[in-house]
A and B are shown apart, each in its own frame.
Chain A
Amino acid sequence: MLMLRATIAGVSLLALSLAACTTPAPQVAASVSPAAKPMRAAVALEDKYATSSDGVKIHYVASGSGRWW
């Protein structure tokens, strides 16, 4: 019985593996967690200032050039 269960589990696992090979990856799969990514060059940091409507200067550190913040 135990062996039968193991065999079924093995078949199921193989089926899942094949499905993973043949199913197109969803778009979200392209974004891997940063921890799993290969090392990449550090992006430079920029010291910048903005002036608020009451004249107060706000310092901020900017980096990257992506489409969003």
Chain B
Amino acid sequence: MIHGYPDFSGSWNAMTPALNDAYRTVALDTRGYNLSDKPKGVENYAMPKLVGDIAAVIRAEGRQKAIVIGHDWGAAQAWAFAFAHPEMLDKLVIMSVPHPTAFARELATNPIQQRNSQYARNFQKEGSENALTAEGLAGWVKDPAEKARYVEAFKRSDFAAMMNYYRANYPSGANAPPANAPPPVNPPLNVPLLVIHGVKDQALLASGHSGTWDYVTKDSTIVMIPDAGHFVQHDAAQLVNTTVRGWLDQR
């Protein structure tokens, strides 16, 4: 289970007990966050490095393959892992982030997504981390006790590293493809796919998931949750947990 921004392994505290009576669960602190190492330099946050971290954890657990669950940047990593290591992937659960080819389409053609991605272009700018505080990053967490845990995790994290995910990988701003460039080509996904999305998510619009099924050779399930926003596994925890558990058990 791979968290996004701004988040840490604790993002899965509600989902873990919904799964771990039957599944071995593993929640990462991705590099730069909380108790993981925080290497300096944008190049250390390029997607191949992040994908390598997921593979390292699977191997450390003595497994050859895994069900991969990701949210936000964790979902972007999960997509990339699926393309790079299909032999290590059993099933894929994606929260919030469209398939990379579909997201490139949205960035190229959807003016609302273009406008709503301005935050990422701001994050890519030099020194953007200087505006961040642990308390501010935890501002989206509603429960006071949980928020306190988030603040402590963010105090142990590297804000520049958080921004380096955007500098190294976000397909916009400095990383934008040339005008009229063909959409990125990724291998077809050959495992069952579950996508869960909060319809009130303004950073990543629900329309980005349209056509996802064109990139998947197995069954794909897309669940749209009307009253949830970007942090869907928090906003609709019980529904997300039962959806994931039921979907996994049926396969």
Residues of A bordering B, CB below 8 Å: 28, 31, 33-35, 40, 42-43, 45, 47-54, 56-69
Contact = CB atoms under 8 A, between A and B. Distances in A.
Interface string B92-108: 00000000000000000
Contacts of A58: 28-31, 36-37, 53, 56-57
Contact of B9 (A28, A59, A64): A59
B36 A57 contact: yes
B245 interface: yes
Contact of A52 (B56, B61, B66): B56
Interface of B: 9, 12, 16-31, 34-37, 39, 44, 49, 52-53, 56-57, 59-61, 63, 66-68, 90, 238, 241-242, 245-246, 248-250
Nearest to B30: A58
Given A43-B21, A64-B24, A69-B67, A59 B36 contact: yes
B52 A53 contact: yes
B27 A60 contact: yes
Interface residues of chain A: helix, strand, loop or mixed (majority):
mixed
Contacts of B31: 52, 56, 58
19 contacts: A34-B242, A35-B238, A43-B20, A43-B21, A51-B60, A54-B44, A58-B37, A60-B9, A60-B27, A61-B16, A61-B27, A62-B25, A63-B16, A64-B24, A65-B24, A67-B22, A68-B23, A68-B67, A69-B90
B90 A56 contact: no
A51 B36 contact: no
Nearest to A44: B20
A42 to B, nearest CB: 7
Contacts of A66: 19-24
A63 B18 CA distance: 11
